[in-house]
Amino acid sequence: MHFADVDTSIELPVMEHFYTIQGEGFYSGRSAYFVRLAGCDVGCVWCDVKESWDVESHPILKLDELVNEISSTATNFVVITGGEPALYNLTFLVTALKLNGIETAIETSGCYPLKGNIDWYCFSPKKFKAPCEEGYERANELKVVIYHESDLEWAEEHASKVNNDCTLFLQPEWSRQDRILPKIIEYVKGNPKWRISLQTHKFMQIP
């Protein structure tokens, strides 16, 4: 697809967008422009951005406006998150970014089939809504948030279904990190196929 084929009149509900440092998972520490789309029906009780759930309370941005703002920075990497970003057709957004030489990643619960040729698929399944099979097939990384120690067994169920090239991460839920992280550390030492993901952006006090 060429830029002339990109429909720049496409609109998306955007809660926020900003240039920062990726704090979690495989690309932790890499500079990244975050696009947080509004709208989610997964309903995680521990979600730290519940304000993203309501589409109506956030502005609608045109594709060309959003891409122009992203391209005005030095970024070469965009993370599309939410909310649940796979609710939307991301084909034109991803294409426009790629045509500007920018890599793309998505952070998704995997509950919906993805529309868009994303470079990196971060699959973070939740107990509150079952993922579709595509999530397991497309996942470049599996990132499971651990709230209770029993979630470790649940994480293994998903790890058994992802493709062989998928990198596995366990991430402590932020409010329970002091309690649950020591258990995750011991678990990863005993099960070295897993890595630990921390929300390092919160330690750095950046968005």
pLDDT attached to residue 71: 96
pLDDT attached to residue 4: 54
Tally Cβ neighbours within 10 Å of residue 18. 13
pLDDT attached to residue 44: 74
Instruction: Output the domain CATH number for residue 33.
Output: 3.20.20.70
Q: What angle do CA 2, 97, 72 make, to 5 degrees?
A: 120
- Note down the domain range covering 27: 3-204
pLDDT attached to residue 48: 72
Going across the sheet that includes 103-108, the strands are: 60-62, 11-21, 31-37, 77-81, 103-108, 120-123, 141-146, 167-172, 194-196
Counted domains in the chain: 1
Positions in the chain whose pLDDT score sits under 70: 1-5, 8, 46
Kindly report, residue by residue over 40-87, the tens digit of the pLDDT.
888 777 677 878 788 878 889 999 999 999 999 999 999 999 999 999
What is the pTM for the complete model shown?
0.93
pLDDT attached to residue 78: 98
